[in-house]
Amino acid sequence: MSVQVKIPAVGESISSGIVSVWHKKSGEQVKKGDPLFTLETDKVSTEIVAEADGVLRTKANEGQEVKIGEVVAEIEESAAPAAADQKKEPAPPVAAAAERGQPESPRSSGATELSPAVRRIVEEEKLDASKISGTGKGGRITKGDALAAAQNRAAAGPEEMQATAVVETLEAVESLASPAKDGRVVRKRMSPLRRKIAQQLVMAQNTAAILTTFNECDMSEVQALRAYAQEQFTKKNGVKLGLMSFFVKATVEALKAVPVINGRIEGDDFIQNNFYDIGVAVGTERGLVVPVVRDADKKSFAELERDIADYAKKAREGKLKIEELQGGTFTISNGGVYGSLMATPILNPPQSGILGMHKIMERPIAVKGAVMVRPMMYLALSYDHRLIDGKEAVTFLIKVKEGIEKPKTLPIDF
């Protein structure tokens, strides 16, 4: 008896996806709950697990686009790898080499020992696992090892890069065309997530009248309050007190003061949202995603920090659910973690506003007639000028600035 492995429905608007990486190979024994493959869609990446014990028989290749409901594999419940059958098959080159006393290829022996996260990086970056030095327990390759290997290859010399490009082109499943003979160009199909991001950004630019206004805020008081409360907060809640929870709270207060920014245009109508589901942009290896913190106005600082940390972890591991990315009313993006001093964020449709945070940098400023050095951050609000006027945008930013510079005016609960 066999169990069909079908592509599950992962969201109302999603009709297809791509089999990004098989975590189990065809003919391999699997157990119920084992991750079989990663399904990458235009919104999220989801690990599909086995629903029964048995031997996996795959029907779809890595990189293949599949429809919702399509059968991509079968699990033969009564089957088991037969040693006798395996002996009848011709010995693979690695086995033959071992019989001759030659060392077995680390690439073959170690491939099945890679974790799903590491395997995904190795497959996408086309790395040779046998050449990666593992720092994990028993010499296992960690995610950090794989990322470091990818970065080191990017910094390789021209000759090595040229050879690598040629090998990648021959092996890449998603390659659409061969590179130039000198290896200077490689054409690869964009992932569904990256294509969706591109479509959303172009749509935002083409459908909204985006304007950005700037302000700056002094981070001294927030930094002092965090330093004072950090130890007790962490001990009590099991999570660190970060900057983002302050900005979420300040943003909610600003949205209450200027409610139009918490609305959206729908056709010829204006929809006013009287709830505060704040999207927090998270950068991942696969692209930018925006999970939503629900009812941010009703949550404590600790709850906000837990939600944000949990979403960031899920995003990096590709485990965000589609419902966790939908329904936000406003977005906060922190380019400062990458060192950005100033930028103009693009709206996240159909929202009408997005707040950009930036790098904290010590700068001389005038304080009551004296020049003082303070930790300063530039703030940027991009908004839909069809709905929001300059006065409202400036008022919003000033309200955020006041909340950050005087954090005790926020609903502090620690």
Catalytic residues: 385, 389
Q: Where are the beta strands (DSSP E) in 93-222?
A: 175-177, 187-188, 210-218
**C-alpha to C-alpha distance for 78 and 75, rounded to whole angstroms:** 9
Do the strands 287-289 and 330-334 form a parallel or antiparallel pair, or are they unpaired?
unpaired
Taking alpha carbons only, the member of 220, 221, 239 closest to residue 230 is 239
**C-alpha to C-alpha distance for 277 and 292, rounded to whole angstroms:** 6
Give the 3-state secondary structure percentages of the chain, helix then strand then coil, rounded to 5.
40, 25, 35
Structure tokens at 117: 């996260």
CA 271 to chain centre: 29
3-state secondary structure of 404: helix
Structure tokens at 108: 């073959």
Taking alpha carbons only, the member of 388, 333, 349 closest to residue 203 is 349
**C-alpha to C-alpha distance for 263 and 243, rounded to whole angstroms:** 25
What is the CB neighbour count within 10 angstroms for residue 234?
Answer: 14
Taking alpha carbons only, the member of 355, 359, 288, 298 closest to residue 320 is 288
Structure tokens at 144: 């950090």
One-character DSSP codes across 227-242? HHHHHHHHHHHSS---
Taking alpha carbons only, the member of 174, 197, 202 closest to residue 187 is 174
